[in-house]
């Protein structure tokens, strides 16, 4: 892949077929970004394909299962010399059922260790692997930004209820990666983002926030980021969340 299609730059979004991922793609494409919309199954991503049709040449749908190491490496090498201005590590899971049903198999009484491992693979190991794999492409951009989709449930300071242990530990671990990568790689801006409780498959129908609204606020926050924000845990408005 070569060439920069737009002035805004290029963004790569994982888990782009639904929920917050699809919303990032919609709003960033509308704002003039070149969008590399990654989904593990492009054939089952009708909304994304429709978006690509509406923005020919600007939205590209790419296959990516974030836990598949070979797939990640192939994507990184296919990017070639294309600068990636923003990586949104959005793909995430609460287990096979969203909230609140998925709380059962990550409780003290009924922990499913297989599901816990899968959650850690997707939410914790995969964003690390993809960020490392894409670092050369990010470094070709003038102001590279990496967004780790974290959660208020990943805050240790704000954990007053327990429950959701598998998901919480995955996001708390992700926050540690954000801080660690920021300390080592000072030539890029990396943040953890708590998007708020959003009405998606993961968040469930009872959630408080429309995903489009959350993404609108997040994009305002991303636009304001500078080096001083790197390593921070922010909410969608740009306020710091306690670790
Ligand atoms: N919704 C909320 O209230 C909320 C709150 C805090 C944080 N977050 C975080 O925000 C991010 C997006 O969540 P969402 O609410 O939009 O959830 P969602 O609607 O359930 O979407 C999750 C996305 O992740 C993808 N995904 C899961 N496993 C994958 C894999 N192995 N490879 C590639 N893609 C994979 C899914 O793809 P498939 O369709 O192929 O399964 C889907 O596109 C997640 O990291 C989540 O933890 C959400």
Is residue 136 one of the residues assigned to a domain? yes
**Which of 20, 63, 166, 204 for mutating ligand 1's site (highest number of atoms within 8 Å of CB)?**
20
Is residue 242 one of the residues assigned to a domain? no
Which atom of ligand 1 is the closest one to the Cα of 199?
1
Q: What's the CA-to-centroid distance between 87 and ligand 1, angstroms?
A: 15
Q: What is the mean pLDDT of residues 31-49?
A: 98
Q: What is the pTM of this model?
A: 0.97
Is residue 138 one of the residues assigned to a domain? yes
The enclosing domain of 80 has a CATH number of 3.40.50.720
Q: Which pLDDT belongs to residue 1? A: 65
Ligand 1 atom 40 nearest Cα:
40
Query: Could you tell me if the CB of 149 is within 6 A of ligand 1?
Result: yes
pLDDT above 60 (res 5): no
CB contact at 8 A, 78 and 109:
no
130-181 tens-digit pLDDT: 999 999 999 999 999 999 999 999 999 999 999 999 999 999 999 999 999 9
Is residue 5 one of the residues assigned to a domain? no
Query: Could you tell me if the CB of 208 is within 6 A of ligand 1?
Result: no
The share of the chain scoring above pLDDT 90, in percent, equals 95
CB contact at 8 A, 133 and 72:
yes
Is residue 4 one of the residues assigned to a domain? no
Q: What is the mean pLDDT of residues 64-68?
A: 98
Is residue 25 one of the residues assigned to a domain? yes
Query: Could you tell me if the CB of 72 is within 6 A of ligand 1?
Result: no
Is residue 243 one of the residues assigned to a domain? no
pLDDT above 60 (res 63): yes
Query: Could you tell me if the CB of 91 is within 6 A of ligand 1?
Result: yes
Q: Count how many domains the chain has.
A: 1
**Which of 15, 106, 133, 234 for mutating ligand 1's site (highest number of atoms within 8 Å of CB)?**
15
Q: Which pLDDT belongs to residue 79? A: 96
Which structural domain range is residue 101 located in? 10-235
Q: Which pLDDT belongs to residue 6? A: 56
Q: What's the CA-to-centroid distance between 17 and ligand 1, angstroms?
A: 9
Is residue 39 one of the residues assigned to a domain? yes
Query: Could you tell me if the CB of 21 is within 6 A of ligand 1?
Result: yes
Q: What is the mean pLDDT of residues 221-225?
A: 98
């Amino acid at each position: 892949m070569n060439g920069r299609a737009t002035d805004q730059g290029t963004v790569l979004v994982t888990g782009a077929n639904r929920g917050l991922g699809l919303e990032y793609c919609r709003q960033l494409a509308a704002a003039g970004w070149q969008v590399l919309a990654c989904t593990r199954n492009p054939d089952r991503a009708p909304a994304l394909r429709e978006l690509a049709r509406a923005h020919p040449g600007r939205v590209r749908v790419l296959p990516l299962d974030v836990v598949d190491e070979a797939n990640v490496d192939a994507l990184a090498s296919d990017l070639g010399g294309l600068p990636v201005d923003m990586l949104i590590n959005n793909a995430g899971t609460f287990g096979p059922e969203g909230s609140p049903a998925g709380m059962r198999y990550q409780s003290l009484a009924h922990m499913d260790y297989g599901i816990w491992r899968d959650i850690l693979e997707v939410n914790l190991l995969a964003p690390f692997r993809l960020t490392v794999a894409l670092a050369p492409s990010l470094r070709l951009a003038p102001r590279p930004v990496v967004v780790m989709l974290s959660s208020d449930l990943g805050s240790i300071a704000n954990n007053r209820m327990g429950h959701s242990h598998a998901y919480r530990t995955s996001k708390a671990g992700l926050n540690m990666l954000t801080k660690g990568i920021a300390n080592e790689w000072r030539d890029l801006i990396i943040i953890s983002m708590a998007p708020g409780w959003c009405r998606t498959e993961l968040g469930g129908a009872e959630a408080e926030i429309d995903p489009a609204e959350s993404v609108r606020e997040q994009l305002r926050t991303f636009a304001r980021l500078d080096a001083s924000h790197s390593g921070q845990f922010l909410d969608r408005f740009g306020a710091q969340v306690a670790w």
